[in-house]
Amino acid sequence: MDIRIVEKTQRGAGQHNRISRLPFLSSLLFTLLFLSTGEAASKAPHLITQKGDWAAYSVPMKDGKTCYVVSQPKDQNPKNVRRDPSYFFVTIRPREKIRNQVSVTIGYPFANKKRASAEVKGKSFALFTKDDKAWIENLSEQDSLVSAMKKGATMTVRGISRRGTHTVDSYSLSGITQALQAAHNACR
């Protein structure tokens, strides 16, 4: 699966507007995700709810729904690096028996053979990377990461770009519990 960012963030003062565009952009991203599969070109994501800094969506598929929650970082460092928007997703695909699949779109190509990480409440979770995406390396830790997210206030995602730039994205976890519950309820 491949998510391509269509809209670049504005620099400077307009950069803060990206959070308010989150529902539209994440809906567009998820639609594009399925365009390559030929399954959902006409099936637009439906906003279930927006809770705090997280939005929950459902997408009808021919053999059931896929649901996800998504957010964008509140802060990104270093500030002087040009990159596409970043998103953190937690996806539910009942028909495939997938719940709480964690993924990141970071906004730049990761360095080859370098791991990224997500850290919540002092616990770090390794992420494997490919192109500008990352997923949890150890699937047995996926539910632990989501549980930590529900209990935490912030999450930090660290990565290294192909140019060798170390980045740190800080996400608010405000609303994750309610948004995730709504997504799970919608995808029973």
Any idea which of 8-12, 70-74, 172-176 has the lowest mean pLDDT?
A: 8-12
Q: What is the pLDDT of residues 128-145, one digit of tens each?
A: 999 999 999 999 999 999
Q: Is the pLDDT of residue 69 over 90?
A: yes
Q: What is the pLDDT of residues 148-175, one digit of tens each?
A: 999 999 999 999 999 999 999 999 999 9
Q: What is the pLDDT of residues 16-55, one digit of tens each?
A: 333 444 444 444 444 434 433 445 444 789 999 999 999 9
Segments of 52-183 assigned E as strands: 54-61, 64-71, 75-77, 87-93, 98-105, 116-120, 123-130, 133-136, 154-160, 166-172
pTM: 0.79
